[in-house]
Amino acid sequence: MNSKLSSLIVFIGSIIVIALSYFAGVFTTSFNTNLCYSEAINSIKNKTIKAKSQNEIKELKLILENLPLHGYESNCNEILQAIKKT
């Protein structure tokens, strides 16, 4: 009986550790993604503020039209790289 109880405690402990690790990973990934999107939006904002001439506005329009946007599957790092190329 004692070995069954020990095995059950180890099993439950393992499940708890796995669950905590999973949620810690989800939080970390979400936090980093949000920072990336904040940086991307801030970069676009700064380019918009700095655009004074018609050529700069046309260039900004091309940047925005060519962003690698794929809905919820968009990769923020790819978007950020596309913004910073110019």
pLDDT tens column, 6-62 = 777 777 877 777 777 777 666 666 666 667 888 888 888 888 888 888 988 888 888
Nearest to 44 by CA among 5, 11, 3, 76: 76
C-beta separation of 86 from 46 below 8 A: no
Q: For residues 16-35, b (16+ Cβ closer than 10 Å) or e, as one string?
A: eeeeeeeeeeeeeeeeeeee
Q: What is the pLDDT of residues 71-80, one digit of tens each?
A: 878 888 898 8
Per-residue model confidence (pLDDT) at position 28: 62
Residue 24 confidence (pLDDT): 67
